[in-house]
């Protein structure tokens, strides 16, 4: 009987790690090579040398919830199955762990957290009660709408917040607010209650009254996260067609909104943060205010996000990049900030003490909402 211990570290699409095998009389250790993640599949190779013969063991794993089901193929001649369980938050895996880093939060995604000198808050923590429903103030409304999506080819849903006293006699700016990998058009309401945060900010006259559009950013016919949300990541990459081609025109026909770039903002959490940076920065004629909170590995490399620093600087009214210092995905946002700083592209870099969770995202919305449309 041999005991196999696998330690995996995921950084975006790349996987590194090692295997250690304890046999009755000896122990063998090997670093993996060629590790990668593609949707719900993880592949890596353990180099094995037997009597001067190089024989690779190839692991192909299907990620599902907290488990990875592996097929282990030894050279061309043997194959076996095994299941690894993820040990959340444990710094060293006992047997097959996907991801290290943020304890708590969701998923414990990402790699080790190495904070840099700039990783400091740009804003104080919001006042107590910023996210608690208040009595005696005016409240906005939430409604679910359906629109025809040309790119996806069916009817899709979006949750809309209209501010207190919304009237066709006034024209409002619009914030498009995007969800994360396991989310949908209800995720922000469920986890962040933007209607509460906005009602409070409007009552305190700290924001311009605005409409918030919370769509489903998983642009595929079945847009539920399903049992393996990671496998739906490619659909997040196609949402720009639906957003620009169908959703915005629908919103601008149905609601009393101002139809110019300076009256449109795009922000989101995690996968939605990546989408906001990717789609926002490549569509500066549509959006002037852009925010990425704890942006996920779907975020394009910074040099691709902003190929023309001068043009972006001219067009951007706000670029807000934030992450929690307990979030295993912070490297993504650190890299974006590093590039923006190097190229002197004006932006806000805000790092608070939270993890990959709604504590950070609610504060992101609170800060971002006060800066836009002014």
Q: How many residues does the chain have?
A: 374
Which 3 state secondary structure label does DSSP give 151? coil
Interface segment toward ligand FER; rule CB under 6 A; list 50-58, 154-162, 292-300, 318-326: 292-300
Closest approach, Cβ 270 to ligand FER, in A, equals: 3
Which 3 state secondary structure label does DSSP give 132? coil
Q: Does residue 180 interact with ligand FER by CB under 6 A?
A: yes
Which tokens belong to 314? 């001219």
Q: Helix 358-371 to helix 194-203 angle, to the nearest 10 degrees?
A: 40
Question: Alpha carbon of 85 to those of 6, 11, 67: distances in Å?
Answer: 10, 19, 5
Q: Does residue 271 interact with ligand FER by CB under 6 A?
A: yes
Tally the C-alpha atoms within 13 A of residue 35's C-alpha that lie toward its C-beta: 20
Q: Does residue 270 interact with ligand FER by CB under 6 A?
A: yes
Rounded to whole angstroms, the Cα distance separating 89 from 104 reads 7
Closest approach, Cβ 296 to ligand FER, in A, equals: 4
Q: Are 314 and 362 in contact (CB under 8 A)?
A: no
Binding to ligand FER (CB under 6 A) within 90-129 occurs at: 109
Question: SS3 breakdown of the chain: % helix, strand, coil, rounded to 5?
Answer: 25, 30, 45
By CB under 6 A, name the one of 19, 63, 181, 318 that touches ligand FER. Answer: 181
Interface segment toward ligand FER; rule CB under 6 A; list 86-94, 154-162, 190-198, 290-298: 290-298
Interface segment toward ligand FER; rule CB under 6 A; list 151-159, 250-258, 291-299, 315-323: 291-299
Return the residue matching tokens 């940076």. 277
Q: Does residue 296 interact with ligand FER by CB under 6 A?
A: yes
Binding to ligand FER (CB under 6 A) within 228-267 occurs at: 233
Binding to ligand FER (CB under 6 A) within 22-41 occurs at: none
Closest approach, Cβ 292 to ligand FER, in A, equals: 11
7 or 162: CB nearest ligand FER = 7
Which tokens belong to 46? 């353990």
Binding site residues, ligand FER, CB under 6 A: 10, 109, 180-181, 233, 270-271, 296-298
């Amino acid at each position: 009987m041999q005991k196999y211990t696998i330690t995996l570290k995921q950084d975006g699409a790349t996987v590194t790690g090692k295997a250690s095998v304890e046999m009755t009389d000896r122990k063998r250790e090997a670093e993996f090579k060629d590790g990668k993640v593609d949707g719900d599949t993880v592949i890596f190779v353990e180099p094995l040398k037997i009597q001067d013969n190089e024989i690779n063991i190839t692991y192909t794993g299907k990620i599902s919830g907290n488990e990875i089901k592996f097929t282990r193929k030894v050279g061309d001649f043997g194959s076996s199955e095994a299941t690894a369980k993820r040990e959340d938050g444990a710094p060293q895996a006992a047997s097959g762990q996907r991801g290290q880093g943020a304890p708590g939060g969701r998923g414990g995604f990402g790699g080790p957290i190495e904070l840099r000198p700039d990783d400091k808050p740009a804003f104080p923590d919001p006042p107590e009660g910023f996210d608690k429903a208040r009595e005696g103030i005016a409240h906005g409304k939430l409604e679910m709408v359906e629109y025809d999506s040309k790119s996806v080819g069916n009817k899709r849903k979006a949750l809309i917040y209209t501010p207190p006293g919304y009237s066709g006699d006034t024209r409002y700016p619009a914030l498009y607010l995007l969800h994360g990998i396991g989310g949908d058009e209800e995720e922000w309401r469920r986890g962040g209650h933007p209607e509460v945060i906005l009602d409070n900010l409007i009552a305190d006259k700290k924001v311009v009254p605005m409409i918030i559009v919370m769509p489903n950013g998983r642009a595929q016919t079945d847009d539920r996260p399903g049992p393996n949300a990671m496998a739906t990541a490619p659909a997040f990459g196609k949402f720009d067609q639906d957003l620009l081609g169908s959703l915005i025109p629908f919103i601008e026909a149905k609601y009393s909104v101002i139809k110019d770039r300076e009256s449109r903002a795009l922000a989101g959490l995690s996968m939605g943060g990546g989408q906001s940076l990717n789609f926002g920065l490549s569509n500066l004629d549509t959006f002037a205010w852009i925010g990425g909170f704890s942006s996920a590995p779907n975020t394009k490399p910074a040099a691709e996000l902003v190929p023309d620093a001068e043009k972006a600087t001219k067009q951007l009214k706000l670029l807000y990049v934030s992450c929690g210092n307990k979030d295993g995905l912070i490297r993504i946002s650190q890299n974006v900030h590093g590039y923006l700083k190097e190229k002197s592209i004006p932006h806000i870099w805000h790092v608070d003490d939270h993890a990959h969770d709604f504590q950070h995202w609610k504060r992101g919305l609170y800060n971002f909402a006060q800066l836009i449309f002014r």
